[in-house]
Amino acid sequence: MGRIDGKNVIVTGGARGMGAAFTRRLVAEGAHVVITDVLVDEGVTLAAELGDAATFLPLDVTDESAWNDVIAYTEQVFGPVSGLVNNAGIVHVDPIEKLSEADFRKVIDVNQVGVFLGMKAVLGSMRRAGGGSIVNISSIGGIIAFSNILGYTASKWAVRGMTKTAAQEFAADDIRVNSVHPGVVATEMTADSTRSQGMSGNQPMRRAGRPEELANLVLFLISDESSFSTGSEFVADGGYTSL
């Protein structure tokens, strides 16, 4: 038996990088997963690789009506939603004096508003499921600050606080909400980043994390093994924030 047999999980930004690792790990442990992303080709390919336990649906996380469509689709194909991984995110690099309002708002819309819309949309379905677990992917940028990524830092701090508020509101329905705070993880987003390479070289564990390592943490939080954890931050950063 898998650790999450019978759970129906939505993963945003699930087509590649950490999201794809989350999807593979959840399916391997018995879940049905709806992969959502704006990367259609990658999402379709991953769903085909994983077989009947996974399906793909395009989703712009800033579109509330599209979120409602995803919930309806998940219930039709697999049943009520018992897990949500809010993973979709973007970053824009610029010092504050050069950062445009449009670029700042775009990051906030995806990273922060998208998480709000996901938590709001899934609530009714999780009630029908008898409870569930929401995992919001923040960052160590939601615990400490970094220069030149104001929108990203602001959004990831916001996700941390939103997680705590939702945990308080949803607990009566047996719905847990936790945030995950990765450090540098080896994905397409960080592959060409000199800053990311420098960060991992200066932390106690002198390497980038692997997507599979974060997937193990997400699996734990989606599973009933974390049944007394809600409103909490789970940090996986090779010791970076210990310095």
| Total of domains in the chain | 1
Domain assignment of residue 3, yes or no: no
Catalytic, 152? Answer yes
Domain assignment of residue 243, yes or no: no
Domain assignment of residue 241, yes or no: no
Domain assignment of residue 83, yes or no: yes
Q: Where residue 111 sits, what CATH number does that domain have?
A: 3.40.50.720
Residue 78 has pLDDT above 60, yes or no: yes
Residue 191 has pLDDT above 70, yes or no: no
Which among 152, 157, 234, 240 is annotated as catalytic?
152
Among positive and negative, which fits the CA dihedral 160, 166, 168, 173?
negative
DSSP label of 210 = P
pLDDT digits (tens, 9 = 90+) for 197-223: 678 888 999 999 999 999 999 999 999
| Phi, psi (degrees; rounded to nearest 5) at 81 | -80, 130
Q: pTM value? A: 0.96
Q: Write out the residue range of the structural domain in which residue 87 sits.
A: 8-236
